[in-house]
């Protein structure tokens, strides 16, 4: 049986949540779908990885929203040549540019991908593109995939057509993100963590939505209460070259408590090494790092953003946004639970919840069903 012809159009292929989901989805379905990927920007870190899987990747090199518009003719020509049955787009700029190019190229089966829940603090250009998408949401896409019930509701209030939405939660690779005692011990030794030392952490890129000011304020409160800990920050921009982050850390007097590792290729090992993963964000849709950490057996404290509450499933792990006192209190409480019940026991419950609700197979089947539905209806 011939494979479905599908083109993904994404804003970029850097190390981010949407990019990671696209990669996992393509890797899991490449035997059943003939995938091609177009990045409006560059190949980032996922372009080479996709090529290793045999997936054609084209980077158009846009450096701005205006640049993406100027690249529409090139994108249109690619789509005319490839003649996909479905065009799946990811994030606002790609939704608009990819959707317009696909319809002009004769492909009706356009699926938009929304992965965001807080537009208030985005750049004005992003907000403008999102509002433009809302205007055209009843014309360009036949379906709009959102990974979060909360985000879907926010966008429908913005004017997106409610009858186009499909909720498909992110799928976690439970083989890659799994408890690994050896990796945990190895990294804790690398970081010179003393036996029993409490390691907090956050895997994230540098972005104002992540609200590192909130995180560091909570850490200062914990330090003032006498808690002995270190906090590991891993991801793009989480290094000594980030002057803004260094300044925040110094202002809070936490230079000795915060370890900046920068981006790493062994994120599952990082998550295993932590005792508690913290999400301090002021806006998310479906925070992948929370589900991935819990799949590794690491409990999480999260702010009440997007579907974070549904992921953790425990009100004691949930705090309001921009409330460092409540964030610190939740960490303090969880530290007591870890001392009483043990990380292994708590971690096993975390992983069981992820396996039940957010496995990769559940996500891939939902996407395949949607693509087949649209392509089949078009015949």
Q: What pLDDT is recorded for position 148?
A: 86
Integer Cα distance of 282 and 215 in angstroms: 11
Are 30 and 136 in the same domain? yes
Beta-strand pair 198-203/57-59: unpaired
Q: Is residue 176 part of a domain?
A: no
Are 253 and 158 in the same domain? no
Q: Is residue 205 part of a domain?
A: yes
Integer Cα distance of 158 and 161 in angstroms: 9
Are 303 and 363 in the same domain? no
Are 57 and 150 in the same domain? yes
Are 344 and 372 in the same domain? no
Are 239 and 212 in the same domain? yes
Q: Is residue 115 part of a domain?
A: yes
Q: What pLDDT is recorded for position 168?
A: 94
Name, in order, each residue with C-beta under 8 angstroms of 263's C-beta and a sequence gap of 6 or more: 15, 234, 235, 236, 238
Phi, psi of 230 (to 5 degrees): -130, 150
Q: What pLDDT is recorded for position 379?
A: 47
Count of structural domains within the chain: 2
Neighbours of 62 (CB within 10 A): 22
Domain residue limits at 188: 181-357
Integer Cα distance of 254 and 248 in angstroms: 9
Q: What pLDDT is recorded for position 1?
A: 55
Condensed to tens digits (0 to 9), the pLDDT of residues 294-351 reads: 999 999 999 999 889 999 999 999 999 999 999 999 999 999 999 999 999 999 999 9
Give the torsion through C-alpha atoms of 361, 362, 368, 371, to 10 deg: -150
CATH number at residue 301: 3.40.50.2000
Integer Cα distance of 193 and 179 in angstroms: 19
From first to last of the 379 residues of the chain, give the pLDDT tens digit: 579 999 999 999 998 889 999 999 999 999 999 999 999 999 999 999 999 999 999 999 988 766 677 889 999 999 999 999 999 999 999 999 999 999 999 999 999 999 877 666 567 788 899 999 999 999 999 999 998 888 899 999 999 999 999 999 899 999 999 999 999 999 999 999 999 999 999 999 998 899 999 999 999 999 999 999 999 999 999 999 999 999 999 999 999 999 999 999 899 999 999 999 999 999 888 899 999 999 999 999 999 998 899 999 999 999 999 999 999 999 999 999 999 999 999 999 999 999 999 999 999 999 999 999 999 865 4
Q: Is residue 19 part of a domain?
A: yes
Are 228 and 139 in the same domain? no
**Number of helices and strands in the chain (H, E):** 16, 13
Are 157 and 229 in the same domain? no
Q: Is residue 61 part of a domain?
A: yes
Are 75 and 154 in the same domain? yes
pTM of the shown model: 0.80
Q: Is residue 51 part of a domain?
A: yes
Condensed to tens digits (0 to 9), the pLDDT of residues 38-65 reads: 999 999 999 999 999 999 999 999 887 6
Integer Cα distance of 254 and 298 in angstroms: 23
Helix axes 92-104, 124-136, angle to 10 degrees: 40
Q: Is residue 64 part of a domain?
A: yes
Are 122 and 218 in the same domain? no
Are 145 and 22 in the same domain? yes
Alpha helices in the chain (DSSP H): 17-29, 46-52, 65-70, 72-82, 92-104, 124-136, 149-158, 181-190, 212-224, 243-251, 267-273, 288-295, 308-312, 324-341, 343-357, 360-377
Q: Is residue 44 part of a domain?
A: yes
Phi, psi of 256 (to 5 degrees): -80, -20
The sheet with strand 57-59 has its strands ordered as: 57-59, 33-39, 4-10, 86-90, 110-114, 143-146, 165-167
Q: What pLDDT is recorded for position 121?
A: 57
Taking phi over 0 as left and psi of -120 to 50 as alpha, with beta for the rest, 262 belongs to left
Q: What pLDDT is recorded for position 250?
A: 97
Are 123 and 166 in the same domain? yes
Phi, psi of 44 (to 5 degrees): 50, -145
3-state secondary structure of 113: strand
Integer Cα distance of 215 and 238 in angstroms: 14
């Amino acid at each position: 049986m011939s494979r479905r012809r599908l083109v993904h159009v994404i804003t970029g292929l850097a190390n981010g949540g949407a990019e990671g989901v696209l990669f996992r989805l393509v890797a899991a379905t490449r035997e059943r779908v003939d995938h091609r990927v177009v990045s409006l920007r560059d190949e980032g870190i996922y372009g080479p990885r996709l090529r290793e899987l045999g997936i054609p990747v084209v980077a158009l090199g846009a450096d701005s929203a205006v640049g993406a518009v100027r690249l529409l003719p090139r994108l249109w020509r690619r789509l005319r040549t490839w003649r996909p049955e479905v065009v799946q787009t990811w994030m606002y700029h790609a939704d608009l540019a990819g959707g317009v190019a696909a319809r002009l190229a004769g492909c009706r089966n356009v699926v938009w991908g929304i992965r965001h829940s807080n537009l208030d603090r985005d750049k004005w250009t992003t907000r403008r593109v999102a509002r433009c998408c809302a205007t055209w949401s009843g014309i360009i896409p036949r379906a709009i995939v959102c990974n979060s019930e909360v985000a879907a509701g926010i966008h429908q209030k913005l004017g997106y057509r409610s009858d186009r939405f499909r909720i498909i939660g992110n799928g976690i690779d439970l083989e890659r993100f799994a408890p690994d005692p050896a990796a945990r011990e190895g990294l804790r030794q690398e970081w010179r963590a003393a036996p029993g030392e409490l390691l907090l952490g956050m895997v994230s890129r540098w972005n104002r939505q992540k609200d590192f000011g909130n995180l560091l304020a909570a850490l200062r409160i914990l330090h003032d209460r006498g808690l002995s800990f270190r906090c590991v920050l891993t991801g793009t921009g989480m290094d000594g070259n980030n002057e803004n982050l260094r300044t925040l850390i110094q202002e809070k007097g936490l230079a000795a408590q915060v370890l900046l590792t920068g981006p790493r290729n062994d994120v599952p090992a990082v998550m295993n090494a932590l005792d508690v993963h913290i999400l301090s964000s002021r806006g998310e849709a479906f925070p992948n790092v929370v589900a991935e950490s819990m799949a590794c057996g690491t409990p999480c404290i999260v702010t009440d953003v997007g579907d974070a509450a549904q992921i953790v499933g425990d009100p004691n792990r949930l705090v309001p946004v921009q409330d460092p006192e409540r964030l610190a209190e939740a960490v303090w409480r969880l530290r007591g639970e870890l001392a009483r019940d043990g990380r292994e026991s708590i971690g096993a419950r975390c992983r069981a919840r992820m396996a039940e609700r957010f496995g990769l197979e559940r996500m891939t089947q939902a996407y395949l069903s949607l693509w087949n539905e649209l392509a089949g209806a078009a015949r």
